[in-house]
Structure 1
């Protein structure tokens, strides 16, 4: 049986872009966990049986939209706290790049996202942890690149 080719958690990267031209992306320091959720919104329609109107109808589903959400946790790093705060305070979405780095290829999404929330949690004598949530704002364009 062939074993799957997998990636480690550090190869799921979230990079925030600046307002330069061209945009320069950097991964803010401090994430120890990150989650990327790809969603498809569906609209339902009941499809009747034309030959037997008394039969129980089946539900048909049509795709209506796609969305990406990112959540991440880690330590509140001084090196990146202002990057996150600037993105959260910005009334506009910010450029974001998301990478899944497999050994043989990298899948990259690029687009705009809103920093929806930042949560800082700390207990006496322990390091402050952060939780960040982001939501896509329009298309996140996907590109697959073979690794050399």
Structure 2
């Protein structure tokens, strides 16, 4: 049996962009856990059986939109505080690039996202301050791939 090709968690990257032209993306330091969710919104419709009007309808589904959500959490690095606060306080969406790197291919998604929440916490008086960030897509996130 062939083993699957996998990758490490540090090779899933969340990068925030600046207002330069071209945009420069950097990954805020400190995130130790990240997730990326792609969602397809569906519209449901009952589909009747035309030969047997008393039969129970089957439910049909049509795709209506795509959405992406990203979250990350970890220690709050001083070098990243300004980037996260600027992004969450911005009334507009910010440029974001997501990268998923495998040994032979890197997939990237670029577009604009709202940083919808920034949760800062202190698990104890002697522990490290943590950060938990949530982002939601604002329009299309364009996917590309390139050889690594």
Cα distance, 1:146 vs. partner? 1.4
| RMSD of aligned Cα (Å) | 0.5
Cα distance, 1:25 vs. partner? 0.3
Q: Distance in 1 between matches of 2:146 and 2:128?
A: 37
Matched with 1:145 is: 146
Q: Check if 1:46 corresponds to 2:20.
A: no
Structure 1 stretches lacking a partner, 5+ long: none
Tell me the secondary structure at the aligned position of residue 79 of structure 2: coil
Structure 2 stretches lacking a partner, 5+ long: none
Q: Distance in 2 between matches of 1:53 and 1:81?
A: 62
Matched with 1:33 is: 33
1:45-84 alpha-carbon deviations (Å, 9 max, x no partner):
0000000001111000000000000111000110000100
1:19-38 alpha-carbon deviations (Å, 9 max, x no partner):
00000000001100000011
Matched with 1:61 is: 61
For normalisation by structure 1, the TM-score amounts to: 0.98
Tell me the secondary structure at the aligned position of residue 2 of structure 1: coil
Q: Which runs of 4+ in 1 moved over 6 A?
A: none
